[in-house]
Amino acid sequence: MIIFEKVSKIYPPDFTALSDVDLIIEEGEFISIVGQTGAGKSTLLKLIYAEEQPTSGRVYFKNRPIDGIKRRLLPYFRRNIGTVFQDFKLLPNKTVFENVAYALEVAGDTNEEIASKVPKVLEIVGISRKSNAYPVQLSGGEKQKVSLARALVHHPSVLIADEPTGNLDPISAAEIVDLLLKINGLGTTVILATHNKNIVDKINRRVITVDCGKIVRDQKKGKYLI
Amino acid sequence: MKKIKLKRTIREGCVNFYRNGWLSVATVIILATSLFIISMTVLIGITGKFVLKNIEEKVSVAVYFNPDVGEEEIFDIKSKLEKFTEIKSVNYISREQALSELNELEKDNSSIRQALEEIGENPLLASLVINASKTEYYDIISKAIANSNFSDRISRINYEQNKVIIERLANIITLVEKVGLALGVMFVFLAVLITFNTIRITIYSHRQEFEVMRLVGASNIYVEMPFVVEGVLYGISAGFISLAMIFLTAKYISVITYKVIFQGGLMDYYLGHFWIIAGILLVSGMALGVVSSFIAIRKYLKV
């Protein structure tokens, strides 16, 4: 589904974030990408949702090259991918419902579709009762649930989670991981970047270890081994 | 852009305008103040010119003829003078008319009436009152008359005694025009700059949201449109507020200007041109708002 072919990324003037990376991610997989801060995890993810372009090599999404995608086409491509971040990235002036609905509005879904899909996804992540609250009125765990709901509402084929538990207490973090597993169980490919050992060990799925811009380990059912 | 998306972005712009609360209020106040300053510069300029024009119209040169010059001859001279483009109008004041005007003017002044009665006959001279089309022409006109072939018919020209006032007025008019233009240009420039920067700061405070919007698949135009709509709302609100501010100021200033000029002032001008002023304010407010929003957002969207 996602293929990296000898991908390197060098940030000017000469910082090598990724070097000669080859990687194949199959549909329906749950992948944990682990590594220290600055190892290249986030760059790897950014190349998937085309926020960054590789300096050399190619990245394919569903057999189509996405390196060098035109900015004009980027929004349409992004609608295939859901993203969740450590800092939640919610729109502060919108309620929980509106934040989630926004992902459908930009894609041109009808009001009826939005009215039916949003409550369902809020129910799945367990945040229905806070539907009319603003982000500032939510706890970290609740914010991440909203962010997750927004990432899922348009049924993306891939969910990218970049340190989604980084700002959360252990209980909230466990809840988010359970949700990620549940989402993966429904058929969505999940790519999780983290340096939380407990989480990776608990998930017990494929683990890719990145160090100094290279993939140093790729285990089918792995543990956090740094 | 699909109709449904267009509707959504317009709604979103309106909701943002409302939810931004004090940020919207502050932006509108600054935009309104800018529009107010620009309009007042223009309106005060217009009133100033109006006041000066009024005074200018009251300035004239009178040519007094010797008592032996007949009315027919004066009319002949009058028609000759009227042919000059520099001269706007020439009015004949007969001796009788001059006397009755003097009587009317000095009806409470007993010493003048007494003096007139003692003389027994009308001591006043017939005259032609000349209005020039421009203040600076008075000098040329009076010289031309003094050197004309009918100069021996003339008793005196009152130009010399008015000369200083007339010249000073001409200088004031030129100065007011120049200073007014320079100040106007400066105020307009400042107002546009302040408005643009205020809207830019407003948008700057939202810059992180653009990234989020694009991440969830919003196209550039979908991100831009609500801000442009907000710009329109800033403009409309500021237009109405500045219109009200001008009304109050004009009302206050008119009280002063009425003392100088009797046939109209700032308030009359405001009311007389209300729809044009309202139209210009609303359109320029919206244009300022939209253009500032558009330029600022393009900067942060990196397109």
What is the Cα–Cα distance from A177 to A181, expressed in whole angstroms?
A: 6
Which residues 6+ apart lie within 8 Å of A118 measured at CB? A97, A100, A101, A104, A149, A153
d(CA A161, CA B87): 86
Name every chain A residue with its beta carbon within 8 A of the beta carbon of B218.
Answer: 75, 102, 106
Chain A residues touching B215 at Cβ < 8 A: 49, 51, 78, 83, 89
* HSE-up of residue A111 (Cα within 13 Å, Cβ side): 5
What amino acid occupies position B78?
Answer: K
Tell me: the pLDDT tens digits for A176-220?
899 899 999 989 999 999 988 888 888 889 999 999 899 998 888
User: What percent of chain A is modeled with pLDDT above 90?
Assistant: 58
Q: The tokens of A58 are what?
A: 């190619």
Lowest mean pLDDT among A147-156, A206-215, B2-11, B55-64: B55-64
Confidence category of residue B303, pLDDT binned at 50, 70, 90: very low
The amino acid at A134: Y
Cross-chain CB nearest to A89 (options B2, B4, B215): B215
Task: Establish whether this prediction's ipTM goes over 0.90.
Answer: no
Both structure tokens of B31: 């935009």
Query: Could you give the CA distance from residue A58 to residue A63 in angstroms, rounded to a whole number?
Result: 11
Task: Give me the pLDDT at residue A2, please.
Answer: 92
pLDDT digits (tens, 9 = 90+) for B130-188: 888 887 788 888 888 888 888 888 888 887 666 777 677 778 777 877 887 787 788 77
Determine the number of helices (DSSP H) and then strands (DSSP E) in chain A: 7, 10
Q: Which residue, among A42, A87, A91, would best test binding to B if mutated, counting the most B CBs under 10 Å from its CB?
A: A91
pLDDT at A134: 95
- Average confidence (pLDDT) over A105-129: 91
Shortest Cα distance, chain B CAs vs residue A134, angstroms: 12
Phi, psi (rounded to 5 degrees) for A139:
-80, 170
**Is there a contact between B239 and B35 (Cβ–Cβ < 8 Å)?**
yes
Q: What number of other Cβ atoms are within 10 A of residue B69's Cβ?
A: 18
User: pLDDT class for A113, splitting at 50, 70, 90?
Assistant: very high
Phi and psi at residue A42, to the nearest 5°:
-65, -40
Of A75, A90, A92, the CB nearest to B214: A75
Say if residues A132 and A96 touch (Cβ distance below 8 Å). yes
pLDDT in tens, B224-279: 888 889 889 999 999 999 999 988 888 887 777 666 655 556 677 778 888 988 89
**What integer is the mean pLDDT of B10-16?**
90
Rounded to an integer, the average pLDDT of B32-59 is 77
Residues B287-291 have a mean pLDDT of 87
Best CA proximity match to A26, nearest among A188, A163, A213: A188
Please report the pLDDT score of residue B258 as a whole number.
65
